[in-house]
Amino acid sequence: MDVESSRPLRVLGIDPGTLVVGVGVIELAPRGPQFVACHAIRAPRDAAVPVRLLRIHDALAAWIQRYEPSAIAVERVFVGKSTPSAIRIGEGRGVALLCAARSGSPVFEYPPAEVKRAIAGFGAADKSQMAAWVARLLGLKEAPKPHDAADALAIALTHAHRMHRNRGLGGNLTA
């Protein structure tokens, strides 16, 4: 429980991008993390980058205002084969970090491999495996869709895992 407001701790996870941004919210309960909501924010593909970033900003700000997270977890940029792609993701990440910082909630960043290890137990899990594990950890009947939303929930769960581990309670997400 959040001592200041007597409400459960909520973590909002963000999977950044400039066309699709995954958002997911979990609540930390005594019986383990609980699903609250998830969504994929979609910016118009044919819009100029500044317009897409503004749409993403406005939608993220609305999610943060609606769910009032105790913490916000954002995926770090993974620089793969495409430098232009990494730059675009970085632009979306910048918007996510700005929204998160403006909220006043603490902001945490996790690299993709750490998210995969925390959720699936190994750093090379694919998107389908990750979505299945997210569903299992949150007690959902089916994997969240699209993958961007499932990835955002995985990022939120990674933060919950880290918080749990740092309290000296071991590495089990559902303890």
List pLDDT tens digits, range 28-38: 988 889 999 99
> Regarding predicted confidence, which is higher, 169 or 122?
122
Quickly count: other Cβ atoms within 10 Å of residue 65's Cβ.
10
Mean pLDDT throughout 143-149? Answer: 95
Can 2 be counted among the known catalytic residues? no
Of 75, 91, 109, 151, which one is the catalytic site residue? 75
The pLDDT of residue 168: 45
Amino acid at 128: S
Is cis: bond before 16, omega within 30 of 0?
Answer: no
Of 27, 91, 109, 148, which one is the catalytic site residue? 148
Q: What class has domain 9-166?
A: alpha beta
The pLDDT of residue 111: 94
Can 75 be counted among the known catalytic residues? yes
Mean pLDDT throughout 148-163? Answer: 95
Rounded mean pLDDT of the chain? 89
CB neighbour list of residue 144: distance below 8 Å, 6 or more residues apart: 24, 38, 131, 134, 135, 150, 153
